[in-house]
Copies of this chain bind each other. A is one copy, B any other.
Amino acid sequence: MLNFEFHNPTHIVFGKDTVPSLNRLVPHDARVLILYGGQSAERNGTLAEVRQALGDRAWYEFGGIEPNPSFETLTRAVEQVRTQNISFLLAVGGGSVIDGTKFVAAAAKYADDPWRILETVGSVIEDALPFGAVLTLSATGSEMNFNSVVTRKATQTKAFFASPHVFPKFSILDPTKTYTLPPQQLANGVVDAFTHVVEQYLTYPVEARVQDRFAEGLLQTLIEVGPKVVHEPADYDSRASMMWAATMALNGLIGAGVPQDWATHLVGHELTAQFGMDHARTLAILLPSMLSIRRESKRAKLIQYAERVWHITTGSEDERIDQAIRKTRAFFESLGVKTRLSGYGIPADAIDGLVQQLQAHGMTQLGEHSDVTLEISRQVFEASI
């Protein structure tokens, strides 16, 4: 096991009918800004519940945070925070709204150009407004971590930052809040959480037995409940297991003390930037090819993955690896997520441009061994046609 530090102070309130606990969790003298995305939070009644729980606190609202939240939009929210003298932020939504709220929380307390927060990957953050979250979409784990991704619309740059100052104070996870989501978003959430686990698990062995077992447990859970989440409209148990699995997939726990990869995410960002493709769909396309092409450096863990997650124990090593990758792909497809570039109408001749963009963004040495070169990324794209 590698040396590590683990610290996650977010207070989780999980279960049915938990939105009223806002009254206990938000300071009574707070001036609250509720941040949300589109109109679904209004339509499905969550915003009304939130307003009621806040009682006679002074609250204001900022809507319109996009999927891939933009620096431009969030900068307007920061202005509103200052104008209205806000003391507490409340994100109501999924990963994009929570990521955006993290940026607003940090930028509101930062005197210089807020773009510096992204340029420095968060290292300039010394303070942030406190904030909580009401989660309405399981996928990114943002509800229990200190990471955020913000996009600059002007340049289509996806920028990541992290800081212990932007842990949510609390997150309310009510699985019933996901009942009204469309199947595509639900499927995206399962693929996203699954890939988060794989990025922290499928590297090379370091005798981190607890982390491996936990990662395998999350993958098994997602495999078991994923199809129900997507195809059964209001099944509480599967939504609850999905919600908790997605949170645990990226709250720092399974990644503590182990090497991490993240090449699939970073290469996938170019597909989103160039074609506006949903983040999770980029992962579904690239992950199977990534695992297949990088099988030598991942061999020991791929065989462990085949055995413990997919119960594949016969055949040569490469046959077991191939079978595990086929099953991974079939799992994504079973959720209604296509796993080939061609399924999204992206032609083979787009690959040159994608590789050029990887180069322009400095993505030339990715993965747990920094050995995912542009040439490897090209092979991954080609194997994903």
Question: Could you list which residues of chain A lie within 8 angstroms of chain B, going by C-beta atoms?
Answer: 1-16, 18, 207-214, 216-218, 220-221, 224-225, 237, 240-241, 244-245, 248, 256-257
Nearest-Cβ distance from residue A268 to partner chain B, whole angstroms: 25
Query: In the complex where A7-B9, A7-B11 touch, is A245 in contact with B16 (Cβ < 8 A)?
Result: no
Contact A241 B18, beta carbon cutoff 8 Å: no
Contact across chains for B11 and A4 when beta carbons are under 8 A apart: no
Residues of B within 8 A of A217 (CB): 210, 212-214, 216-217
Q: List the B residue with the shortest CB-CB distance to A174.
A: B3
Copies of this chain per assembly: 2
Contact of A221 among B9, B15, B210, B248 (CB under 8 A): B210
Roughly how many angstroms separate A309 CA and B37 CA in the complex, as a whole number?
44
Besides A1-B240, A7-B9, A8-B9, 14 other A-B contacts (C-beta < 8 A): A1-B14, A3-B18, A5-B12, A6-B12, A12-B256, A14-B257, A207-B237, A207-B240, A207-B241, A209-B221, A209-B241, A211-B244, A213-B217, A216-B217
Chain B: CB-nearest residue to A175 = B1
Contact residue among B12, B221, B224, B244 (Cβ-Cβ distance under 8 Å from A7): B12
Residues of chain B with a CB closer than 8 A to A11's CB? 5-7
Chain B nearest CB from A242 CB (Å) reads 9
Is B9 a contact partner of A15 (Cβ separation < 8 A)? no
- Give chain B nearest CB distance to A173 CB in angstroms: 10
Q: How many Å from the CB of A378 to the closest CB on chain B?
A: 37
Give A15 to B213 CA distance when docked, in angstroms.
19
Among B5, B220, B248, point to the contact of A14 (Cβ < 8 A).
B5
- Give, as a whole number of angstroms, the nearest-CB distance from A197 to chain B: 11
Complex Cα distance A8/B251, Å?
Answer: 12
The CA-CA distance from A221 to B211 in the complex, in Å, is 10
Closest 8 CB pairs of A and B: A213-B217, A3-B15, A9-B9, A7-B11, A207-B237, A209-B241, A6-B12, A1-B240
> Chain B residues near A221 (CB, 8 Å)?
209-210, 213
A212-B214 Cα distance, complex, nearest whole Å:
10
What CA separation (Å) do A70 and B211 show in the bound complex?
A: 36
Task: Assess whether A210 is in contact with B257, with CB atoms less than 8 Å apart.
Answer: no
**Cα of A1 to Cα of B256 in the assembled complex, Å:** 26
Contact of A208 among B3, B214, B241 (CB under 8 A): B241
The chain B residue with its CB closest to the CB of A220 is B213
A1–B224 Cα distance when bound, in Å, is: 15
Q: Cβ of A8: which chain B residues have Cβ within 8 Å of it?
A: 8-9
- The chain B residue with its CB closest to the CB of A221 is B209
Q: Which residue of B lies closest to A249 (CB)?
A: B210
Q: Which of B1, B10, B12, B14 contacts A244 (CB 8 A)?
A: B1
Cβ-neighbour of A218 out of B10, B18, B210 (below 8 A): B210
Decide if A1 touches B237 in the complex (CB within 8 Å). Answer: yes
CA distance A101 to B210 in the complex (A): 28
Query: Which B residues touch A225, using CB under 8 A?
Result: 209
**Which residues of the other chain, B, contact A211 by a CB distance below 8 angstroms?**
244
Complex: how many Å from CA A357 to CA B159? 64
Q: Are B1 and A5 closer than 8 Å at their CB atoms?
A: no
Asked if B9 and A4 make an inter-chain contact with CB atoms under 8 angstroms apart, the answer reads no
**In the assembled complex, which residues on chain B have CB atoms less than 8 Å from the CB atom of A18?**
3
